[in-house]
Amino acid sequence: MEDLTFDFIIARYNYWLVITLMMTGFYVVVSRGNLIKKIVGLNLFQTSVFMLYISAGKIIGGTAPIFTDNPDEVYSNPLPHVLILTAIVVGVATTALGLALIIRIKETFGSIEEDELLKIEHDYDTTGKMPTAEGRP
Amino acid sequence: MLEQLTHHLPALQTVIPLIAAPLCMLFGSRHIAWTITLIASLATFVISCVLLAQVIDGSVISYHLGGWEPPLGIEYRIDAFNAFVLLIVSGIGALIPFYAPASIKSEIPKSLHSYFYTAYLLCLTGLLGVTVTGDAFNVFVFLEVSSLSTYALVAMGAKKDPRALTSAFNYLVMGTIGATFFVLGLGLLYILTGTLNMVDLADKILLLEDNRTLNVAFAFILVGLGLKIAMFPMHLWLPNAYAYAPSAVTAFLAATATKVAIYTLLRFLFTVFSFDYPFEVQTLEWVVLPLAIMAMFAASIVAIFQTNLKRLLAYSSIAQVGYMLLGVTFLSKTGVTATIIHLFNHAVTKGGLFMAVGALVLRYGSPNIEDLRGAGRQMPWTMAAFVAGGLSLIGVPLTAGFISKWYLISAAFEANHWVPAILIVASSLLAVIYVWRVVEAAYLQEPANPTRQIKEAPPMMLISTWVLIGASFYFGIDASFTTHAASAGADMLLGSVDNSAHIILEPSHSLIPHVTPHGQE
């Protein structure tokens, strides 16, 4: 195992950024009760993985991966970029679906706070009734 | 023309439902959408039968998408194992169009029916795609196609119970975390090896010695897929999602979605990694084994105390996932065979059970056991199906559940793990309790409302329920097909037979496949 020297840490700065971003996103998802904030946290979390892929595909001094006449041209690895394009599409779809669900939840329950939703669901369980528009928190 | 079509079967398997899905939405009419769904799902079922017939002897089909050769191009790779899983998924998928119309009529507003069929076909596409592909990143994409449509399907239960919305949201959050962990693990594997083709990954991983990045990648993949298969204690999304989704959706998901995720896990455990990789063996023995046993007990005990029948069965599913994982941890061919057999048997049994419950919910309007009192007399055929499925869940002889447990216990003895063997029997007794609770309410108690006339379930629902329940008996009496297919699949996974591709289909270069005899590759 290599020693955790200053150079070792600096040379891998992209990984540290990814880890920080990922843990921030994960923390937001777990700790926030507001559903929209959860979705934002989820986005951060996914973006960190995108950055991991993209930074791994970068070659120092490399240009965009486009064929030129120069056979010695150094270019970045295009495959991770393509993969992440797909993953971004998946991420956008997830966010869209999550937000659509939040709208429906707001319409039905009148709240998007997790603790209030739990209380409304508990009342629904015992009384079988949803709160009316006036009774909503 | 027909010959050309047969060369594209692996791709058509996913392409047919994928194209059919938007058609359902474009036509808008629920009758046309239903017809399209029926045709597409029957077509995938036929294709999977043909594919299984081609590979059951141990040959492997490698289909190069767009004619790009693997490992650079995406490869669809079909062997005895995934052809068997394809058969399960498409078989149950083909029953759903028969079951769904009567069931969703009362649960989903009519204007949403064509969307229901669209989402259902997309879900089917994703599940079949995960199973058929040989490319690790492609697995992620298909997994998300199926998951995203599943979230939408679960949310469609909102008319009946608004909690479907919050459970779909929780499922979305947890499922996305799982998928992101999974794709992070893949990213680390890609950084290490520079490839995403599963077979190629396996070759390159063998060359890596003890490597911490590899261990981290393995852990991320295990946890990510663990969330998708509802591995205890990552099962929290499952009970609510199953309980509040429309009945047809619950039946489909319980029978296929977690099974496909377990398939993916097995694919990664054995095809990509292998028992030669010490970290995997340690993880299975010290992490997965205790969790599997805890799932068998904790989830079964929780199931006993449920008042909602759908939730009861959902918890029972979590316990069954425990059995499937337990089989793998015995680190033997018998263990893996037991897992694959149970994967099939449980899909059939739980699908049938949830279909029976869907019929009860349709007539009684409530999934609570209390409201279903007297159902044994008012809906005799549906309740009989439930009892028969319950017997298979417990593992009574002559049912499919018995065959799974028999294999599991023999695998446990073979590995000298006699404690898990006893625990398997003990946890089956817990299943007796929760099934009995329902039987007691349905047969021995007076109806909750004796004046209310309850009709037997609609014939199409009853027939599809009984097809699955009948299958669970058939495969309990004559298990030669399941054991043969499962042991061929286990051979393929453990690499004890030659698993190089024998039939290579390269569509754009030539429509005639290069067929090479066994082992000449």
Q: How many angstroms separate the CA atoms of B344 and B350, rounded?
A: 10
CB contact under 8 A, A42 and B177: yes
Per-residue pLDDT at B512: 45
Q: For Cα atoms B141, A81, A79, give the angle at the middle one, nearest 5 degrees.
A: 80
Q: For residue B151, is it within any domain?
A: no
Q: How many angstroms separate the CA atoms of A7 and A4, rounded?
A: 8
Q: For residue B431, is it within any domain?
A: yes
Place of tokens 């999550």: A98
Give A63→chain B minimum CA distance, Å: 19
CB contact under 8 A, B137 and A86: yes
Q: For residue B486, is it within any domain?
A: yes
B511 pLDDT higher than 50:
no
Torsion angles phi and psi, residue B197, rounded to 5: -75, 130
| Cβ-Cβ contacts under 8 Å, B163 against chain A | 121, 124
Percentage, residues of chain B above pLDDT 90:
68
- Comparing C-alpha atoms, which of B278, B233, B410, B230 is closest to residue B336? B410
B328 pLDDT higher than 80:
yes
Q: Specify whether domain A6-107 bears CATH 1.20.120.160.
A: no
Confidence of residue B509 (pLDDT cuts 50, 70, 90): very low
- Cβ(B226)–Cβ(B283) below 8 Å: no
B474 pLDDT higher than 50:
yes
Select the residue of A22, A83, A130 nearest B162 (Cβ to Cβ).
A130
Interface test with B, best of A21, A43, A49, A106 (most B CBs within 10 A): A49
DSSP code per residue over B118-169 = HHHHHHHHHHHHHHHB-BHHHHHHHHHHHHHHHHHHHHGGGGT-THHHHHHH
Per-residue pLDDT at A99: 96
| Cβ-Cβ contacts under 8 Å, B184 against chain A | 22, 49, 52
- Cβ(B83)–Cβ(B55) below 8 Å: yes
| Residue A4 backbone zone (phi > 0: left; psi -120 to 50: alpha; other: beta) | beta
The 10s digit of each residue's pLDDT in B234-249 is: 999 999 999 999 999 9
The 10s digit of each residue's pLDDT in B7-52 is: 889 999 999 999 999 999 999 888 999 999 999 999 999 999 999 9
Question: What is the number of structural domains in chain B?
Answer: 1
Cα torsion through B302, B307, B311, B316, rounded to 10: 40
| Cβ-Cβ contacts under 8 Å, A53 against chain B | 187, 190
| Cβ-Cβ contacts under 8 Å, A38 against chain B | 173
Sign of CA dihedral B100, B104, B105, B110: negative
Per-residue pLDDT at A134: 47
B288 pLDDT higher than 90:
yes
Mean pLDDT check: name the lowest of A87-91, B157-161, B164-168, B240-244: B157-161
Q: For residue B514, is it within any domain?
A: no
Number of H helices, E strands in chain B: 21, 4
The 10s digit of each residue's pLDDT in A29-82 is: 999 999 999 999 999 999 999 999 998 888 888 888 887 788 788 888 888 888
B157 pLDDT higher than 60:
yes
List residues in chain B touching A: CB distance below 8 A. 137, 140-141, 144, 148, 151-152, 155, 158, 162-163, 165-166, 168-169, 172-173, 176-177, 179-180, 183-184, 187, 190-191, 196
Per-residue pLDDT at B44: 95
Confidence of residue A2 (pLDDT cuts 50, 70, 90): low
Confidence of residue B520 (pLDDT cuts 50, 70, 90): very low
A63-67, B122-126, B517-521: which is most confident: B122-126
Q: For residue B144, is it within any domain?
A: no
Select the residue of B162, B173, B179 nearest A108 (Cβ to Cβ).
B162
Q: Which residues contact B192 (CB under 8 A, 6 or more apart)?
A: B204, B205, B208, B211, B213, B214, B217
Per-residue pLDDT at B519: 39
Q: How many angstroms separate the CA atoms of B171 and A98, rounded?
A: 10
Mean pLDDT check: name the lowest of B140-149, B169-178, B375-384: B375-384
Sign of CA dihedral B180, B182, B188, B191: negative
- Cβ(B311)–Cβ(B242) below 8 Å: yes
The 10s digit of each residue's pLDDT in B412-432 is: 999 888 888 999 999 999 999
| Cβ-Cβ contacts under 8 Å, B172 against chain A | 94, 97-98, 101
Q: For Cα atoms B103, B104, B107, give the angle at the middle one, nearest 5 degrees.
A: 105
Q: For residue B340, is it within any domain?
A: yes
Q: Which domain holds residue B344?
A: 281-498
- Comparing C-alpha atoms, which of B434, B466, B458, B452 is closest to residue B374? B452
More confident residue, B385 or B65: B385
Tokens representing B75 are: 């490869």
B455 pLDDT higher than 50:
yes
Confidence of residue A24 (pLDDT cuts 50, 70, 90): very high
User: Mean pLDDT, to the nearest integer, of B166-186?
Assistant: 95
Torsion angles phi and psi, residue B59, rounded to 5: -85, 165
B98 pLDDT higher than 50:
yes
User: Mean pLDDT, to the nearest integer, of B194-213?
Assistant: 87
Question: Are β-strands B75-78 and B61-64 bridged in parallel, bridged antiparallel, or unpaired?
Answer: antiparallel
Confidence of residue B501 (pLDDT cuts 50, 70, 90): low
Percentage, residues of chain B above pLDDT 70:
95
Counting Cβ atoms within 10 Å, is residue B458 exposed (0-12), middle (13-18) or buried (19+)? Answer: middle
The 10s digit of each residue's pLDDT in A75-127 is: 888 888 889 999 999 999 999 999 999 999 999 999 999 899 999 888 888 87
| Residue B67 backbone zone (phi > 0: left; psi -120 to 50: alpha; other: beta) | left
Helical (H) or strand (E) element with B239: helix B237-244
Mean pLDDT over the full length of chain B? 90
Written in H, E and C, the secondary structure of A51-108 is HHHHHHHCCCCCECCCCCCCCCCCECCHHHHHHHHHHHHHHHHHHHHHHHHHHHHHHH
Q: How many angstroms separate the CA atoms of A43 and B154, rounded?
A: 22
Q: How many angstroms separate the CA atoms of A32 and B368, rounded?
A: 33
Per-residue pLDDT at A136: 53
Give A134→chain B minimum CA distance, Å: 18
Per-residue pLDDT at B508: 54
Q: How many angstroms separate the CA atoms of B248 and B251, rounded?
A: 5
User: Mean pLDDT, to the nearest integer, of B473-489?
Assistant: 90
User: Mean pLDDT, to the nearest integer, of B328-352?
Assistant: 93
B136 pLDDT higher than 90:
yes
The 10s digit of each residue's pLDDT in A10-22 is: 888 889 999 999 9
How many interface pairs between A and B have CB atoms less than 8 angstroms apart? 76
